[in-house]
Amino acid sequence: MGIGYDAWKYLDLPHPLPKELKTFQEIKGNKHTAVATGGDIQFHIRSDEKSFAYDMAAEISSFMSPIADCTVEVQGFRYWDSRSILGFVDGTENPHGASREYFAVIDEQDPACKGGSYLFVQKYIHNLKSWNDLPIHEQEKVIGRSKANDIEMTDAEKPKNSHSALANVGDDLKVVRDNMPFGNVASNEMGTFFICYASTFSTVEKMLKQMFIGNPAGNYDRILDFSTAVTGAMFFVPSMDMLDKFSG
């Protein structure tokens, strides 16, 4: 459960606030924008059994309905071998083992919020017609990896505006992604719900700036020519120990 900056203040939760918790501000490049749509509470529900996820969402909605409106709901699903709707494996750069906790969970850098995590979410809508019109070798240049085997291109052959070149901000600045594809054939709304946990939100901001503004400016992530961010919100996920203190 993630709590937004405004909700933290409104609910008069304990001070000091998490050091990097704030209201997310849009990041605007020359062509594409990481919009800021806000939100007070974010629930991330995962289950291998869809019935469990639905029942949990229904219970939360019933409990919250007198005081809050559900403004965004995305029901994701596993697509083949952890691929996005675009057909490429998603989350290849995710940390593994003990590194997941190191990059996703706050430690002594903010003792009052130890065990918590920053959460950033975006709902992306893909233009699949334009994407599928691209030959596979051109799609691979956009992503920076092979489509069939998920092998990263060498630095010499990888385009500077590829997704893997700009979304990766360094081995010392990683995040843990839990992205999920979603799709509705009738409405032609196909996309990716970007879910990102990090021990420092500044890492997420750096990644977004490289993608939307570019590195250098103007050299934006070319995946954005086929993927439009329609939401963007930041939250802080408290640990169970912190929640116990809040309830007291």
Instruction: Note if 90 is an active site residue.
Output: yes
Annotated catalytic residue within 6, 48, 81, 90: 90
Q: Residue 132: phi, psi to the nearest 5?
A: -70, -15
Q: Residue 72: phi, psi to the nearest 5?
A: -140, 130
Q: What 3-state DSSP class applies to 159?
A: coil
User: Which secondary-structure segment (H or E) carries 127?
Assistant: none
Q: How far is CA 76 from CA 62, 85, 155, 165, in A?
A: 21, 11, 33, 26
Which residues are bridge partners to 118 per DSSP? 198, 236
SS3 of 60-115: the string is HHHHHCCCCCCCCCCCCCCCCCCECCCCCECCCCCCCCHHHHHHHCCCCCCHHHCC
- Report the catalytic residues: 90
